Amino acid sequence: MEDLKQLEEKLNISFKNKELLEQAFVHRSYLNEFDFPLGHNEKLEFLGDAVLELITTDYLYHELPDKAEGELTAIRAALVKRETLTEVATELDFYKYLKLSKGEAKTASNQATILSNTVEAFIGALYLDSGYEPAKQFITATIFPKLDAIIKSNLYIDSKSQLQEIIQEKSSITPHYEVINETGPDHDKHFEVAVYAGDKKLAQGSGNSKQAAQIDAATNALDNL
């Protein structure tokens, strides 16, 4: 694992409590193999998720005054979703600083859930260490630049509504969704969902919530159509 001082220098951030910064990069699996007094990063992730949502909501409210509530909600979801946060983590080389079990470490750079959760944990740690404004500055510098691409590519558009409209144009059938697999502990669930038109399976998708998996399935179904 590389020295976290390098990350602080890269981000122009200096933690007063270095233990908070270190804990943000400790995955639960690490504690199965190593003694570590600070614990894993899941509570920091929990806090960081809430801080990220608040800061993003405030930003979008002022940045996009002409957008309706439903559209703002969809744009926010696209900005804070796992794929976006994983992209940020990859750009910042977060995987280099992670403390993981030996098994997890072999594939950490490709594990979207671990990487996206680490971004949230980092935000939580930064908020605890330095407050709202530094957390906002980090999010503004790393996540909000993704906004233009999301809007231009219509990535935030509700794929479930689009799919339902297309299917109902051709028939009176309303697409329905079924969970086909569910893995992980309660704090880190992963769902696989299939979308059907009647008895016909159109596609399947995955996500860290049933809603996210349904959206992914609908998006894949639209691609197939």
Phi, psi of 204 (to 5 degrees): -140, 160
* Residues 80 and 59: beta-carbon distance below 8 Å: no
Instruction: List the catalytic residue out of 22, 49, 104, 129.
Output: 49
Helices (H), 15-172: 18-23, 42-63, 69-80, 82-91, 102-105, 112-130, 132-142, 147-152, 159-170
| Catalytic status, residue 129 | no
Please give the full DSSP string across 125-146, using - where no structure is assigned.
Answer: HHHHHH-HHHHHHHHHHHTGGG
**Residue tagged 């500055």 (tokens):** 137
Instruction: List the catalytic residue out of 22, 42, 45, 120.
Output: 120
CA distance 74 to 19: 35
Task: Report the Cα 40 to chain-centroid distance in Å.
Answer: 18
Helix axes of 112-130 and 132-142: crossing angle, nearest 10 degrees: 140
CA dihedral of 30, 31, 35, 38, whole degrees rounded to 10: 100
* Residues 225 and 213: beta-carbon distance below 8 Å: no
The total of other beta-carbon atoms located within 10 Å of residue 192's CB is: 17
| Catalytic status, residue 58 | no
Supply the residues annotated as catalytic: 49, 120
